[in-house]
Structure formats: structure tokens, C-alpha cells
Structure 1
Amino acid sequence: MKTILITAYAINPYKGSEDGTGWNITKEIAKKFKVILITRENNVPHLDKFFAENEDETLDNIQYFGFDLSESVMKLKKKTGSKSHVIYYYLWQYCIIGFLKKKAFTFDASMCLNFHSDSHPHFLWKLKKPCIWGPIGHHPKIPKAFILKTYGIKPYLIDRFFFMMKWTMRNLNPSFRKAVRLSEVIFVINSSIDKVIGVSKEKSIIVPAVAAVNQLVQERTGKKFTILCAGRFHFMKGFDISLESFSVFFHGLAPIDKNSVRLVMVGKGKEKELLTELAKKLKIDEVIQWIDWIPHKKMAEIYNQSDVFLFPSHEGAGMVIPEAMSFGLPVLTFDNCGPGELMGIKAWKIPYRSYKESIGEFAMKLKQLHGNRAERLQFGRELLERQRKLFTWERKGKIINEELIRITE
């Protein structure tokens, strides 16, 4: 059995998002290869706990090691908080090469697994073995009209600053260009990434950094038509669109029907106060249930009690999309390279038009799903089938392992 060296900055078997992606892809690779895993030292206790609690032959194929920069750099990182994580990750990727050379690991190929950023280079090519990279990607610019109206100038400038900074890192950093050139394969999270990073389609493979575990789908027996929104309350997620479109839908209902609908908002974040004030302004606050972020396992009950998942996010991915699909929920998204591409059914995507027009179209789709249960169930079945076909860790592992087998033959 051949050996793959994996660097995974974020990995935790007990978490979702980037940490969960790091773990699930590593585990899939370990089904076909021996794995030497290098991660942050703060992730090692979680791996220790998981390995102690679980008996799985696949785990026998994984050796893991923690690596971090010097104590003085770590103190500075903690002092500056999230502002320094971009710089620290870059340095971590660069300095890990010296650590690996000192350890003198024997391996056949390497993989830079995460962060999933497509603006930070890896340096694994310095080890003189075949290397692969990804899944990587980025969040596209938020359309101007969808950020200024509700959130103001500051978030708009932040969004544009980070977009410009990432463009600079990709296009003016020779190390980034070298990482692109010397990677055997680059896995990208959506169809827009290869052009952005300047890689040929022959060398890039779309592997979204999201998946879901197949769920037991229960028949919905709730008396109220329930629209669910979930995620971090951040301007990129478009929760203002959720509230605005629900408002148009709700106020357009007959009085007798208003008592049988509700909006459930699951999440937390710095925009929550703004969103709660918007709900009051729109006169829908009394039919909204706000739920703070809850353990991942408890979300299953909420999904099974819902009729529609409303997610007008502008991001480049969307972990919650395949998750909602796995419960057979209809999903409404923008027609974009992130959630829209994941959801996949053109007829139910909302194109970017003016702010008011887009809200109207989301509201119209909500009305359509509310009024036609058969259509709603059929839509949910189609998405469930799509999730089980495309968005499982097993399928992602199969794609990645096929490339690893090819480059190590």
C-alpha cells in the first residue's frame, strides 16, 4: 500500500465545515492508502480522542503529527486574533517544508488539503514528489446592490478589499503561480475557479468541499408551512433577502393562511441585531422563530420539521445545501456559482436582477411551493437523489483516490 502525505491545517472529526471536510477526505484517502497527516497542534487532542473512542480498520492507516510555528509567533497570533490568520496560514504552509524534511517521512505523493483558499500557495512541490491540491476556491464579489442597501458602505468596502487582496495574492505572487504549475491536479470547489487561478480545465477537477451523510427522510407532519434558513449571520449569506422575500410572501397570503406559516432562522453572528430589527420593520417578527446555533446532530429534527430551505447566499460554496438536500428539502437559491451550482435545478434558481426584483422572485417561488404540495415533494425528491449521487464523502474520496492512484503508478 502506497503512502500519501497530507497537510490539513483544519481537521476535526467532531466538527463540520472546513474541519469536517479535512477529516472526511483524509478518512476516504485512508481507505486506499497509508496516510501521514500533518495538522495544527491544537487539532491533535481531538484526533487523539476520536481514535481512542472508535475502532475502525481505516484509522490504522493514519499517522498524524502536530506542527505549529514558534511559541513567540503563536503568542502574537493569539494577541492579534482572526486578523492574523491569513498571514499565519501562509507561514505555516511555508515553514512546514522544513519540518517535513527534518522528519524525513517516506511517502509516494503529497496533498495540500486545506484551508480551501485559492489565494494561498502551498510549497509541497519542494519535496520533489508528485503533489495535488484542494479542494480550493473563494467567495465571489457580492453584487453591489445586495450589500449596500441593507448593510451599508463598511461591509461593501470590506468585501471589495478582500477580493482585491486575494486577486493580488494569486496574480502577483510567484509562489502561487509555481504551486499552480507544479501541482499534478487541482481540485476546485466550483466551475468559476479554474479561470480565476489560471489553470487549464485538463488539470482541474470540480470537487465541491461540501457533502452530507445520507439521512432517514421522515414524512413532514407539521401543521404549519415552515421555511427554514440556517447559517452564520453575515452579510455574505443574504439573510436580508430571506426576510424581505418572506415578508412579501407572508403579507400576500389570505388572512386565514397567515396563521399556518412560519420562518425559522437558525444561527448566530454579528448581523443578528440588524436582522431582528429588519424583521420588526417588515412586520414579520411575530411569525419568526430565532434559534441560536445548536449542535450539528440536533439540526436533523429541524430539517425534518421544515418544508422549504431558503438560502439566498452569495458565497462560493454552501455546506448547508447538500445537508438540506439530504433531508429531501426543496432548496431556493440564487443562480450563482456557489449554492446555485450545488442545488443544480435551473427552474428553481433565482437570477440576479435588481434587489427588489430578486426579492419578488424568491417570494413567488415560496408562494408556488406553499400552494402545491405535490410539486414541493417532487422537488425535494429530485434534490435528495442529486445529493446521494453527487454530494457524499464516498464519491469525493473516489474521485480523489483515482487521481492519487494515477500519479503514484
Structure 2
Amino acid sequence: MRVLINAFACSPYRGSEAAVGWNIPRELAHLHEVTVLCGDLRAERPNWTDLTSYGLDRVPFRVAYVAPTRFISLLERLHRLPGCWILYYAAYNLWQRRAYRKARELQAEKPFDVVHQLNMIGYREPGYLWKLAVPFVWGPVGGAPNAPGAFLRLFTGTGRLKVGLRTLLNEVQKRLCLRARRAAKRARKIWAVTAADEEMIRSVWGRACTRMLEVGTDSTLPGTVHHLAPGEVLRIVWSGVHTSRKALPVLLHALARLPKGVVHVDILGEGPETVAWQKLAHRLGVEGALAWIGKKPRNEALDKMREAHVLACPSIKEASSVVVIEALSLGLPVVCHDACGMGTLVTETCGVKIPLRDPETSIAGFADALRRLLNRPEQVAALSRGALERAKGLTWAAKAAEISRGYEESAEGLKSADNADGHGRGAGYPCNPCKSVDKIVREKSADNADGHGKGAGYPCNPCQSVDKIDREKSADDADGHGRGTGYPCNPCKSVDKMESADNTDRHG
């Protein structure tokens, strides 16, 4: 089966969205003929750099790279200015339009059987692949949950404003993002990351969906059982971009409630909240228990995780978090909130989950969880064994197999729908073939009344003069479409009608 996947972020070296965009197509390439649309917004082109560094000849799928324009890169740079973060979404949308144009070119060269919108996983930007006359699948889809308002007091002024505004926009976009609704309506299969995402898709968009975590375990990571000796310092690792929703202050406040000298925390990553968090650590008197490691290459970050006894992940708005899945693969127990994708990933056999209600509940919960591990060090080894066992059922290969079944169901569903009318969908039928045949039958009756039979090369009214047909062909060619043997109607009119109904700007 020929599959086109829109995976904007795709890298063999990085985590998060880039890991999703790399690992799922990599596993699907064992099952299908896969082409991946990927790209960048930044002028430095990190995704392209990673792929070429890895070696395009080693990549198991076809790479269709879509480069950013100078304007897109300019918007990406400007979004880093205070209050301009929304420009990122403008840049990303422009890239998606370019990706759609590339997809149309690829589809014209050799049609695909299924197209898949993979990442970024947020529902706000569904891309434009759903406008192609090909079975469309979408997901895993995330982004519906909101950060609880009670946590705003833990954020800095900028972080509080950003999270509050994002929450407001999230509720508006869920209901008013018409393009996302249209994409969902056209999708033959939708996967949702969390219970909140599933609820949005079912209740707001009125579509059925299936739950699926977007991350998978890496079977190449050598996991081991971690042990904590009695009286040994509990080594904790925290990893992520330093933004408000990652909620590191929850852990810092929890550390302040523990005796000094019993824990050590390695903090990986960097971001806009780094300085504010360092100042908070100083005010709480816990800076001596912390090591600010900074942003490191993935291999170095994994090495630092291997040195730890437990991963602390206090995020309050997350999908499933690649760092959590990596921790499980390494045999590292996880302390996290019982929310988002983490609430599904982590079980009582491999970690400790804290209810996500308010800051006091979270701070007390994290402090109690760490205190219990210190008082019962044998629990670290027990949870570590559980983490390794849990990781076995969450592999990328298993996830790809499930997605592949979705592809087959979508393609089979299209075939069944066509056959219900007695017509199979041929490669050249971009429109509904049943409507085309009905029109032909009606025109054939009118033609026969004039004494004309339907010519094999003229699926539309053959009474039209050859000059008129030539003029229509010229009009088609002016739009970049020749009249192919499989186009029973004017393909430009078909595409124009489809696109104008979906988007008056005719993106692509």
C-alpha cells in the first residue's frame, strides 16, 4: 500500500514530536511503501540537517522535504519576542500549505492509497492532506486538555499570561476551528491521545475515534534494574523544555519539604523559564540539591537518565511525553500526575501518580512519593522491574501495526462504499464515481435520442463539437491539469469545487 505521511517534525536524533515523526514512519516502512512530508520553520533547518547527517540512503522511507521560505523563517524568529508566540502558528500554517502543494505533485506522479496527518499532533493544525481525493486518517490527535487554572499562581507573569490566554483560545478553537472540523469529517480513522481529546472529538466534532498514545518505547535502549541502597542519596532526573506547563516549581516546592542532603536532582533542558526557576530554587533554599545540566544531545541526556533512580515529571499539560516513555525503556520509575498521556503510560507497577487538582495537592503528593522511596528503598528496584515490563507492551512496532490496520480499514471502507453502488474506485476517479456514472447514463439517453452513441473516449456528452472539447482541454491545461483518461468530468472544476467549499483562499 502506498502511504503519504505528513510528519513535519522528523529526526532520528531528537525526542518529542521529532521522535514520533521518525519512529512511526520507520516502523510502517516495514509494512508499506511510505513517503514522508517533513520540513522546518527555522532557517537552520534542524530536521533536514539531522536527516542528511543520518544519511538519506539509510532512511527506510522516501523523504519529501519541504523547505521553509524566508518569510516563514522570519515569522518563526519573531515568535520568540515577548507576546508574539502566536506567530509560530502562522508560520506553521504557511508551511502546511506548501506541504499540500508538494503532496498534490506527488499524488499526480503516482497516486497514494492512504494519506496520514501525523504531526504536529495538536488538533489546531490538521494540515491540508484531507483535501486530496484519497482516504485520509488523522492522529494521534492531542491538545484538548487545559492546564488547571489553580496552577497559574505558580507561574511567572509572562507564563501566567501565556497559559491563561492559551486556555481561553483552546476552548474557542475547539468549537470554532472549522478546518479542523472539516478534516475530522473527511477522516476515515481518527486516533486520540487522551480521554479529554477523545471527548472533544466525539462531543464537539461528532466523530468516532480510538485512543492511542503517540509515543512508543525504543527496543534498542538497554534497560536495567535500578537499585537504591539504604541511606543512599536518591538521584532524581527532570527533563524537558523550561516552559510553564512543565511545572518544575511543583518539584522544587516538594524538595523544600524533604530533609536536606537526601536527594539530588539533575535538571536537563533550557527555556524561557530557566532563570525564574533558578531564582525560585534559591528562595526555597534547595539550590544545593540541584544540578542545572542544560540542553544536551539525546544520547548524553539518556546517559544522565541512566544515572538516576527515578524520573520526576510534574507536567500539568502534556500529551504522553517522550521522556516518560524513554524512562520506562531504561527501567526508570516515574513520579508524575495522574493526567494527560502520562496517566495512561504509568501504572502502579512502574511509578507513582499524583492527582492533578491544585498546587498544594501536587506538591504534597510529590513530597510524599519521594519520602516513601527514601523510607523503603527496595521499592525503587520493584518499580524499576515494573517499568521494564511496561515498556515491552508499548513498542513503536506495536503502534505501527495498529496504525497499519487503520490504513487497511480505511482503504477497504472506501472500496466497500464504492462497491455498494456497483462501482469500484479506479485510479482516475477523483470525484464520486457513482455520480459520474449516473450523469453518463442520463446523458447517454439524451444522446441516443439524437442518434449519437457514446464514444469510448468521451465520457461526457459526445454531441459537443471537437472544437469545444479542445477549448475545455486548453482551459484545463491553463490550470495545470491535462484531461487524463480517468477524469470523466472536468478535473479543474472538480478540484475547484472541493477546495472552494473547504476554503475560500484555495490553499495549496
TM-score tier by shorter-chain length is: 0.7 to 0.9
* Correspondence for 1:216: 222
Residue range with higher mean Cα deviation, 7-16 or 395-404: 7-16
Amino acid of the structure 2 residue aligned with 1:232: V
The aligned residue for residue 147 of structure 1 is 152
Question: 2:75 maps to which residue?
Answer: 77
Kindly indicate whether the alpha-carbon contact (under 8 Å) linking 1:226 and 1:306 is maintained by their aligned counterparts in 2.
yes
> Are the structure 2 counterparts of residues 92 and 287 from structure 1 closer, same or farther at C-alpha, using a change threshold of 3 Å?
closer
CA–CA separation in structure 2 for the residues paired with 1:204 and 1:152 = 37
CA deviations 1:299-318 (Å, max 9, x no partner) are 33322221121111112222
**Structure 1 residues 273 and 152, CA gap change in structure 2 (3 angstroms):** closer
1:288 to 277, 290, 293: 290
Q: Distance in 1 between matches of 2:352 and 2:263?
A: 21
Q: 1:281 to 1:216 in 2, by over 3 A?
A: same
Equivalence for 1:225? 234
**Within-5 A mapping of 1:90-109:** 90-103=93-106, 104=108, 105-109=110-114
Matched-pair contact (CA < 8 Å) for 2:191–2:212: yes
Note if contact 1:309-1:332 (Cα within 8 Å) is conserved in structure 2. Answer: yes
Would you say the 8 A contact 1:170–1:197 is kept in 2?
Answer: no
Paired position in structure 1 for 2:258: 249
In structure 2, C-alpha distance between the alignment counterparts of 1:357 and 1:64, rounded to whole Å = 47
What is the rounded CA distance, in whole Å, between the counterparts of 2:166 and 2:193 in structure 1? 19
Bigger mean CA deviation after superposition, 153-162 or 288-297 = 153-162
Q: How does 1:196-211 map to 2 (within 5 A)?
A: 196-198=200-202, 203-211=208-216
Counterpart check, 1:336 vs 2:329: no
AA in 1 matched with 2:293: I
Q: What one-letter code is carried by the residue in structure 1 that aligns with 2:149?
A: K
Q: Which residue of the partner structure matches residue 322 of structure 1? A: 325
Shift of 1:79: 5.3
Which runs of no fewer than 5 residues in structure 1 stay unpaired?
A: 252-257
Given that residues 38 and 63 in structure 2 are in contact (C-alpha distance below 8 angstroms), is that contact kept between their aligned partners in structure 1?
A: yes
Q: Residues of 2 paired with 1:201 and 1:394: CA distance?
A: 30
* Aligned counterpart, 2:467: none
Distance in 2, Cα, partners of 1:139 & 1:304: 33
Give aligned-pair identity as a percent.
Answer: 25
The CA deviation at 1:401 is 1.0
- 1:144–1:156 CA contact under 8 A, matched in 2: no
Q: 2:28 aligns to what?
A: 29
> CA 1:198 to 1:95, structure 2 compared with 1: closer, same or farther past 3 Å?
farther
CA distance in 1: counterparts of 2:24 and 2:17, whole angstroms: 11
Following TM superposition, the consecutive aligned residue runs of length 4 or more in structure 1 with deviations greater than 4 angstroms are 199-202, 219-223
Unaligned 5+ runs, structure 2:
413-508
Deviations 1:72-110 (A, max 9, x none): 633643553454221232233345434333441321111
In structure 1, C-alpha distance between the alignment counterparts of 2:100 and 2:371, rounded to whole Å? 56
Counterpart Cα distance in 2 of 1:305 and 1:76:
40
Name the CA shift for 1:285/1:100 in 2 (closer, same or farther; >3 Å): closer
Query: Does residue 47 of the first structure (1) align with residue 51 of the second (2)?
Result: yes
Aligned to 1:234: 243
Give the conservation status (yes or no) of the 8 Å contact 2:121–2:141.
yes
Q: Tell me, what secondary structure is at the counterpart of 2:272?
A: coil
CA contact (8 A) 2:241 2:270 kept: yes
Equivalent pair of 1:188/1:205 in contact (CA under 8 Å): yes
Residue 406 of structure 1 corresponds to 409
Q: Is the 8 A contact 2:147 2:163 kept in 1?
A: yes
CA, structure 1 residues 153+14, in 2 after alignment: closer, same or farther (shift >3 Å)? closer
In 2: Cα distance, 1:285 partner to 1:79 partner: 33
**Shift in alpha-carbon separation, 1:53–1:35, aligned structure 2, 3 A:** closer
**In 2 relative to 1, CA 407–302 (structure 1 residues): closer, same or farther, beyond 3 Å?**
same
Matched, 1:169 2:173: yes
Q: In 2, distance between residues paired with 1:388 and 1:330?
A: 15
Alignment RMSD (CA, Å): 2.6
Q: Which has the higher contact order (CA 8 A, sep 6+)?
A: 1
Between structure 1 and structure 2, the one with the greater Rg is: 2
In the alignment, the residues of structure 2 paired with residue 325 and residue 383 of structure 1 have an alpha-carbon distance, to the nearest angstrom, of 5
Alignment of 1:288-367 (within 5 A): 288-317=290-319, 318-345=321-348, 348-367=352-371
Instruction: Give me the whole-angstrom Cα distance separating, in 2, the residues matched to 1:231 and 1:362.
Output: 18
Which segment drifts farther, 190-199 or 124-133? 190-199
In 2: Cα distance, 1:362 partner to 1:45 partner: 39
> Hey, what does 2:451 align to over in structure 1?
none
Deviation at 1:183, TM superposition (A): 0.3
Aligned residue among 113, 135, 145 for 2:140: 135
Cα distance in 2 for partners of 1:202, 1:80 equals 36
Alpha-carbon spacing, 1:74–1:93, altered in 2? closer, same or farther (3 Å)? closer
